[in-house]
Structure 1
């Protein structure tokens, strides 16, 4: 291509060299170095006046150095062709080719004092002089609105789909699975392209502590709690008023409640005379279908906190109370068969009888063993009094970043419940996300579909293989994972890539070189989003 220069940053020289090779040209001359104190120095060794300039620079393990190098290189290109004798603006295009856009996970506020770092980086690129951005699979597509210049957000999905068709046996029977709620749109897109079914894996945190509920705490505070008794022969639900309430003339909260087939009665524990038309406590205890269980607090009708009543003990569920209840119990939904649950401890699936770390740290029996302890002070670890804080005052975002859920997987005092929605038995599974940074959520999802869902093979697929820390080694050592599929948008150390036998890296140079060629000649890039079925 005439009047076109491609500069290769230090983060991905191999990818930039392959792009230039596909276009039949050599990388433009540039000298990249650092001073002794770590400052970045850029020297352009060729004329760039009236040329279309493309700077290929991706995120890397030295992410901040790569960003500064990109900004300085763009600024140097702008300064090298901005001054013209006629005083007219330059007739050149300066584009940044960012296969992996840095800080893309920080595209929204996650706390009241959080920063939208991705928007700040977009502003920095604009100030440096960029007027075109080419990238692949932004973490959030709405990030394109951060820029004041055109953005070509390419997708690696056609390349991944073509690899699946060519290399996966019986891929027509596979299932695409999302490992969190935020990645369902990405998973369903690939599933629609391949005409496959899809599923989802979600995790639910269980906070540590003695596991006391509010009713257990309230039961310790008041020993005169009335007992809820179940009786199907009574026509009305009545509560015998307490002495203090009766003297004040106040009415209880639940005065009368009629049901279709099932009737309930609250009988006092202290042996008071039951209401007229009701049964005594002894008669209720003689029924084989009546037994006390959990309790819950009860308040008077005027809403005054001082008139809070003692907790009421719920009756256990009894079989076949009425024909209508029997019909509801017999009704089954076929979709419920596709829901599988498991327990996660230290980020791994454990059997149902495995001891919970929360119970081993502080057993619930301490309440019974130490009756003199203050129940309110013991309950401070309970989720009833300390609910989990939500993002921005309760507006929790379900579309969390790809690896934000890994934070609690290795917490020794936290147990999680993992749920698999979808039928994966004896199927090949494609667990899909936009990036792989930490390995915890990937391993948990793979173990869930294999050990609970009884899948036969698991492919972990992502566009950007960041592989922070020892995550690649952990994925390699997981017996439930068969293949790790990523692209070369993010540079992977050669020693890590050689040690990971399960790792497969797809080349993006053809996609990026074609995008550069079409931008240079003013052609449409829409064909780059289509799937080829060769």
Structure 2
């Protein structure tokens, strides 16, 4: 029995980063005192009390308490890591479960194993090197290792996912960056989430910096709201939380039946403007369309700069003027019900392209959330050059840069395109040296840490308004 008591205390003290009681020399208490204190151990111990007991007062030798055995240690018995989170591993097992004296060794090991499962793991849902780069950056900041898994495509095109370690009772974070093959990336995420769900993971949090199909969040003609469909599929697969960044429409959060943290990349892009553009005080923030005016206004107000809006360009992605939902379809000689005369909606007519605001002799900084088809950005840059802007920057959160985007940027009047690493674009950077990358792994890793520890996310949304 005495050997078992010493084993429990040594394991518990080691988990709290303390020197075991057996190494305290003559300060070690008698065996009967140890047994008596173990019997008086409370069944539950709050984290606040654990933190207070762990910290203690360095100047008071009687204030440093080893919580599992309730024994006061001298300060020299503490190690530098004594401020680590309490209540994990064997210490949680002993503190939360008052083991009876003489309990078998296997019972203690089982409890310690169950307590250790309450940690977290970070997995990458894509095995390609370009897509795992962000996941590696996040795990390095967290001081953790990337979870062991295998994701591959079979010869018939099916996606197969294998989890190579136990995830029972743990918080699992799946990092999925979206490459060019969007549909394959979605299936990888769904299959991995379902595999973790069936492996008894406690919580499954998807870290999806760029949420795919976010542009298909409105009804177009006889189409569908694909973003809502994807949200339902993720919930069905087992996800319980999502961390994303700069959704195309903030209302997308309402499609989900679980919490969504929509982080912002604007602090990192604003920092880049201040540090990498020497004469940014002589700049003007430009919205390439009236739809992007709110985002541009937010940047202009934070940098104390002027604002310009390009009005009159073609918006082929929105097409609000032709909704097309006619049911039944219109017939040329349709019979109108007598007495029913609806007012005729006048057709829209786009005005000539104009720039509202002064850009002459200034640096023009075009801001948006997604840069995919760059033709509209190239056209906006040509207009700004004609109006007298001597340098043109394009800044966006998600750099999809599809098709011939690198070549068009290289041949255009754009001086620099700045995007974050929410989407892998290393190949595009090799094709066009004008493309620059801002790392946002810091905010994603901090979000993961706070969610796992149950801390507030408000710190990550400081000074963020509804329009941001």
Is TM (by shorter chain) over 0.5?
A: yes
- 1:441 corresponds, among 355, 372, 376, to 376
1:129 deviation in Å? 0.8
Alignment of 1:457-476 (within 5 A): 457-476=391-410
What are the within-5 Å matches in structure 2 for residues 240-319 of structure 1?
Answer: none
Deviation, structure 1 residue 35: 1.4
Counterpart for residue 216 of structure 2 = 106
Q: Secondary structure at the match of 2:359?
A: coil
Q: CA separation in 1, counterparts of 2:283 and 2:351?
A: 27
Per-residue deviation, 1:392: 5.0
The 5 Å alignment of 1:84-163 reads 92-111=202-221, 113-163=222-272
Of the two structures, which has the highest relative contact order with CA contacts closer than 8 Å and spacing of 6 or more?
Answer: 1
Distance 1:416 1:440, change over 3 A: farther
In structure 2, C-alpha distance between the alignment counterparts of 1:506 and 1:179, rounded to whole Å:
22
| Contact 1:107 1:116 (8 Å CA) reproduced | yes
Out of 508, 521, 524, the residue aligned to residue 440 of structure 2 is 508
Q: Does 1:525 align with 2:460?
A: no
- Counterparts of residues 14-53 of structure 1 (less than 5 Å): 14-53=133-172
Deviation at 1:192, TM superposition (A): 1.5
- The answer to whether the 8 Å contact 1:158/1:531 transfers is no
Match of 1:419 in 2: 354
Q: Is 1:490 paired with 2:408?
A: no
SS at structure 1 position matched to 2:352:
strand
Residue 169 of structure 1, CA deviation = 1.6
Which runs of 5 or more structure 2 residues have no equivalent in the other structure?
A: 1-84, 86-117, 327-349
Q: In the aligned structure 1, how far is the partner of 2:275 from the partner of 2:143?
A: 28
CA gap 1:461/1:389 in 2 versus in 1, 3 angstroms = closer
Question: In the alignment, what sits opposite 2:277?
Answer: 168
Aligned to 2:47: none
SS at match of 2:223: coil
Question: Following TM superposition, by how much is the alpha carbon of 1:472 offset from its aligned partner in structure 2, in angstroms?
Answer: 1.8
Q: Map Cα deviations across residues 231-271 of structure 1 (whole Å, 9 max, x no partner).
A: xxxxxxxxxxxxxxxxxxxxxxxxxxxxxxxxxxxxxxxxx
| 1:465 to partner: Cα distance | 0.5
The Cα of 1:393 is off from its aligned counterpart by 6.3
Contact kept in structure 1, 2:406 and 2:431, CA below 8 Å = no
Contact 1:205 1:417 in 2 (8 A): no
CA distance in 1, matches of 2:245, 2:405: 22
Q: In the alignment, is residue 5 of structure 1 matched against residue 121 of structure 2? A: yes
CA distance in 1 between partners of 2:224 and 2:203 (Å): 31
TM-superposed deviation, 1:49: 0.5
Mapped partners of 1:168, 1:205: distance in 2: 30
1:135-192 superposed Cα distances (whole Å, 9 cap, x missing partner): 0000000000000000000000000001111111221221111111211111111111
Larger radius of gyration: 1
Which residue matches 2:307? 198
Q: How does 1:375-454 map to 2 (within 5 A)?
A: 390-391=322-323, 417-451=352-386, 453-454=387-388
1:342-353 correspondence to structure 2 within 5 Å: none
Q: Could you say if the C-alpha distance between residues 169 and 434 of structure 1 is closer, same or farther in structure 2, counting changes exceeding 3 Å?
A: same
Aligned pair in 2 of structure 1 residues 62, 103: CA closer, same or farther (>3 Å)?
same
C-alpha distance after superposition, 1:287-343 (max 9, x if no partner): xxxxxxxxxxxxxxxxxxxxxxxxxxxxxxxxxxxxxxxxxxxxxxxxxxxxxxxxx
Structure holding more helix per residue: 2
